[in-house]
Amino acid sequence: MTIDMLTAYGANTKEGLQRCMNNDGFYLRLVKMIPGDGHFQKLYDAVEAGDLAAAFEAAHALKGSTGNLALTPIFAPVSELTELLRARTETDYTPLVTAIRDAQKKLCDICAD
């Protein structure tokens, strides 16, 4: 995996690197940790089960970490989801969840390279 692949993926690598004191290796190492983050599954299960409170906590955690690393394809839908969940909005979360899943999968593939 390279910085360029991440940029192509849609991440704001410039911002992400900045946060990591421009340390390429450190940044990439952290990015690799994201796809396997347990909070993803927690989120999906909670949404499935209708537990909005639990879903909010999972989403919030993901928002933080993906935001820090500027992984926009995941951060954007997660961010939106977090706000809706914070307000415990009753709605169909499927499109957002799908978007998150897809972005997570794509990143997983990139990390495998």
Partner 1 sequence: MPMKAAKKSDRNAIQNLICAVLLICGVVLSFVYFYRSNVTRITHQNETYIADIATQRASLVGDLFAENLAYIESSAVVLETAFQNEEVDSAKLNVEMEEQIDPVEVEKVGRLLRACEERFAFNYFRFIDLHGRDYTTGETVIAANVAEREYFSQGIRGVTGMTYILDSKVTSERQIGFYSPVYQNGEIAGFVIGFYGEDFINSLLEVSVFDHACEVLLCAQDGTIIYSTGKTAETRNYLDALSEFSFSQDTDERTVRDAFANRNDTFFSYEVDGQETVGIVSYIGSDSDFLMVLNFPAEAYQSMIRNASINGAVLLLSLIGLFLVAGIFFIVRFFLQKKKLLEEAKNSNDIHFAMSRLFENFVIVNAEKRTYHYIEGMPDVGHIPNDGAYDLFADDLLDRFPNDAERAEAAAQISFDRLTRQMNQGQDIISCNLHAPIRDEEWFTYNFIVVSRNAEGRVTEFIIARQDITGLQKKEEEIRRILERARDEAEKGNRAKSNFLSSMSHDIRTPMNAIIGYTNIALDKIDDKEMVRDSLTKIVASSHYLLSLINDVLDMSKIESGKIHLNENKCDLKKIFERIADLTRSQAGKKSLAISFDTDEVRHPYVIADELRLEQVLINIAGNAVKYTPKGGSIFIKATETEEYPEGKSRYSFSVRDTGIGMSEDFLPHIFESFSRETNSTINKIQGTGLGMAITSRLVKLMGGEISVSSKLGEGSEFVVELTFPHWESPAGSELSDSEEEAVDKAALAGRKILLVEDNDINAEIATLVLSEYGLVVDRASNGQKGVDRIVEKGGGYYDVVLMDIQMPVLNGYEATKKIRGLDTEYAKRLPIIAMSANAYEEDVRESLASGMNGHIAKPFDPQELAAELYRRIYAQ
Query: Cβ of residue 3: shortest distance to partner 1, in angstroms?
Result: 17
Q: Give 20 or 47: the residue with its C-beta nearer to partner 1.
A: 20
How many Cβ atoms are within 10 Å of 96's Cβ, its own excluded? 20
| 68 vs 106 by CB, closer to partner 1 | 68
The residues that touch partner 1, with contacts defined as CB under 8 A, are 18-21, 23, 26, 30, 33-34, 37, 57, 60-61, 63-65, 67-69, 82
C-alpha span between 110 and 15 (Å, rounded): 19
Least Å distance, CB 21 to partner 1, is: 6
Residue 41's identity, in one-letter code, is Q
Closest distance to partner 1 from the beta carbon of 62 (Å): 9
Comparing CB distances to partner 1, the nearer of 18 and 98 is 18
Q: Phi and psi of 93, rounded to 5°? A: -85, 0
Contacts of 27 (CB under 8 A, 6+ apart): 3, 13, 16, 17, 20, 69
